[in-house]
Structure 1
Amino acid sequence: MTVRQLLLFSTFSLSLVAAPHTSYSDIVVENLFLQCRVTDQISVTEFFDIANPAPQYLSHTATHGLSYCDGGYDSQWAGDSATFDVTMDHRLQGFRGSVTSGGRWLVRPAVDSIVTFDGFFHYSHPTTPNEWGQASINVTLRVEGSTSFLFVDQEVDGTVSLGPPSSTLTVNGSYLLQAGTLYRVGYSFGTLNFQSPPPPTATWLGNGEVHIAINPVPEPAAAMLLVSVLPVALSRPIRRVSMNRIR
């Protein structure tokens, strides 16, 4: 373990053990907004915008010609915990444009909690020169009403930035949430092409998932157990992800 890893580990461990256990009854989801959109000169959009939602599974499909955005959403919460699971399927064909999907939940944790993000987006674009495409995925966290992000993880790639025509993008991470604070937890997927007009049979495809979980900060006994195993995890090599960006 490096000195920097040891310092980070010590700080994180102490925050888990010393974090006050402030309670505001059960976790509250105040609003959800989930959208699929297919766009060329016009936009076809399907969305859910629900205030005070109940735990539920939702799905919809936005279709424009041969292109579509198909989304499924499983939002569940009870007590101090919540999970938000998204599955997404994109197909872009027949015009220059985009297929985009994104959403957010407004969440007020009942106790100091940890939100974790994990997601991927697999894309497959044409290999023919000039049939450029771009794929993207991101997850975000901020306090509702603020323009500053507390956490962002994203990956963008594709042939338009000289990346491979087929690959898998990933996002992950975690952040400590304060009890009683209203947070905006969000995600997005994107599929774009840049040839006008594209060949009729050319397709830009993408499918992926995002999983978001909110769970209470471990009690001191559980935190001490975590402290005992973290050095082993931190001693492993850090994964580095290269990203091709548009310049």
Structure 2
Amino acid sequence: MDLNCDLGEGYDAWEPGVVGIDEALLGVVTSANLACGGHAGDERTMAAVARVAADRRVALGAHVSYVDREHFGRRFLDVPPDELRAQVAAQLALVVAAAVAHGTRVSYVKPHGALYNALVHHEQHAAAVLDATGDLPVVGLPGSAVLDAARRRGVRGVAEAFADRGYLADGTLVPRGQDGALVTDPAEVAARVVRVATHGVVRAVDGSDVRLDVETMCVHSDTPGAVLLARDVRAALERAGVPLAPFASGVVADA
């Protein structure tokens, strides 16, 4: 199982001797989804995350988004597909440059927030993202349109589960702001993760079980207590005998 986290979204100090949330998480996860300017992040944060990820041999992914910093990429934008394609390509180019400058590479793409959720059903936006990202593996919700489209193109689609997000009975995420959207109790999160990894099942907010066949597990860096949560998740998986390793194969993207 891969353990991933969305990074480069805040304002970590990134100073010698100062360990911020992102840097601490890079000591826990196996893959880092790096914000590349659409919803958060800038050249400084991209360089900082890329540098530490390279040092710790953490796989690096481009965390692309609708261009919407005001709403942190959590608002659906009905942009034309050609415009979305150009936006995603520009974001990918930025993170590729940061990765290359620090001796690492972009190995996959994971859409963020509203774009991630839109790609569950929005086939035109899914095609636009894939047009921009080429042969890079793409991460998405199990059964989503973007994963189906990727596989039809011969691109690897990587199904993902969320350690700290609630699920609806149809396998989609509880919208943020609604009851049950976040799961923050460390013991509950750890138990959920182990159940997904060993049995492929998660309990939805209505009490039903949802089948999840996934390769990667996400803990969000902006969830309260994220570092402790991620450490508990990793420890629980290791106790359960679940091997942890990046899913990414090490593909280098061209800027």
- The alignment's TM-score, normalised by the length of structure 2, stands at 0.26
| Larger-Rg structure | 1
Q: When you count helix as a share of all residues, which structure comes out higher?
A: 2
Higher relative CO (CA 8 A, sep ≥ 6), structure 1 or 2? 1
Q: When you count strand as a share of all residues, which structure comes out higher?
A: 1
